Structure formats: structure tokens, C-alpha cells
Amino acid sequence: MQAENRPDILNTERLILRRFTMEDCEALLAITQEPNIFQYFPTRSAWTMEKVERSIEHQTNHWQTFGYSQMAVTLRETGQLMGWCGLEWLPDTNETEVGYLLSHAFWDKGYATEAARASVKFGLEEIGLKEIIGLTDPLNIASQRVLEKCGLTFTRRQVYFGMEMFRYSTQP
């Protein structure tokens, strides 16, 4: 399927995943300022507005290049930005990763699994990817469960982004 014919909005029972716009900057900045929001990420410091803007630009360019990207995850009922979820090409390893980050207010409610499942399905069925990987800090049990619920299987420990990660894959 050609990129221009792919959907750029994914709907689930409770969520809408859509492409980021610069109108999301303030809400995304607030999420990235939450204490310990990046506790399992390689870079753990809060983002500046400049970093938020660069990230949204990067995702916009990524979508234009690959036909997929990290997407804004919004609550269907209210439209509130909850965080991000989607697919990202990793040029260093020639892989596509499903990734997600949600505001603490939305943890432990199944939203990450719901968004990640929609992203994995989109990648496999709409884009035609042969494999999607997921990466977690070895201590991030909740994220490991999300990946498993999305059909990914643990494959190995591997260094990504300068830190040892657990690597999961749709192709065990």
C-alpha cells in the first residue's frame, strides 16, 4: 500500500492515535516534565520546549519518509493528549521499534497495551513490515508485559541507545 493511502489516524475502543502537530507542544511538554516519566529511558532528563518541538518535527519528517511514526495518543472521550505510541525506524540496527510513553495519570489502565496493539497491527497489516521489535529496560516489568500482550516475544539482551535492553520481537 502506498504511504499516501495509509490511514494517519488509528482508532481503538478508547483511544485515537493521530499524527502530532505543533499544537501538541504545551501538552507534550507537560507530560515530559512529570517526575520520573523517563525513568526507564536512556536519557532521563525532562524535555525543554525546544526538544518537544524538535521531536514533533522529527516525527513529522519520519512519517513523510516511512509512512509511520510515533503518534499522539489521545483519549477518545475528551481528546486529551495522553502521550505517544507508534513505530520508529532505527537506522543503527535496521529495525522498526514499537514505542510508547504515557502520562502517569494513564498508567495501569491498559491504555499502553491498547495503543501498542493498534500500532503493531498497523505496522504488520498496513505497512507490511516483516518484523517489529520492542525494547525495554530490564527493570521495566510493566513495559515487558505490554509487549507480550501485543504478541511480541523476548529474544535477547542487547545494547541499544547506549544501554542494555531487553529486545522483544514479532519474529521470535
Query: What pLDDT score was predicted for residue 6?
Result: 61
The number of distinct structural domains making up the chain is 1
Mean pLDDT to the nearest integer, 34-50: 93
150 falls within a domain: no
Residue 124's domain spans which residues? 3-132
C-beta of residue 90 within 8 angstroms of C-beta of residue 96:
yes
CA pair distance 37, 29, nearest whole angstrom: 12
The beta-strand segments (E) located in the chain are: 9-11, 15-18, 70-75, 81-90, 95-102, 133-136, 153-160, 163-169
Query: What pLDDT score was predicted for residue 3?
Result: 46
13 falls within a domain: yes
What does pLDDT average to over the chain? 94
118 falls within a domain: yes
Mean pLDDT to the nearest integer, 65-71: 96
Share of the chain above pLDDT 70, in %: 96
| pLDDT of 4 strictly over 90 | no
| Closest to 72 (Cα-Cα) out of 60, 62, 84 | 84
With bands split at pLDDT 50, 70 and 90, how would you rate the model's confidence at 44?
confident
Distance of CA 120 to the CA centre of its chain: 10
Residue 166 exposed, middle or buried by CB count within 10 Å (0-12, 13-18, 19+):
buried
Distance of CA 41 to the CA centre of its chain: 12
101 falls within a domain: yes
79 falls within a domain: yes
| pLDDT of 2 strictly over 50 | no
Q: pLDDT digit string (tens) for 109-152? A: 999 999 999 999 999 999 999 999 999 999 999 999 999 999 99
Share of the chain above pLDDT 90, in %: 92
80 falls within a domain: yes
Query: What pLDDT score was predicted for residue 121?
Result: 97
Q: What predicted TM-score, i.e. pTM, was given to this entire model? A: 0.93
Mean pLDDT to the nearest integer, 44-66: 95
Query: What pLDDT score was predicted for residue 5?
Result: 55
158 falls within a domain: no
Residues in a beta bridge with 81: 74
With bands split at pLDDT 50, 70 and 90, how would you rate the model's confidence at 1?
very low
Report the CATH number at residue 101.
3.40.630.30
36 falls within a domain: yes
Query: What pLDDT score was predicted for residue 42?
Result: 87
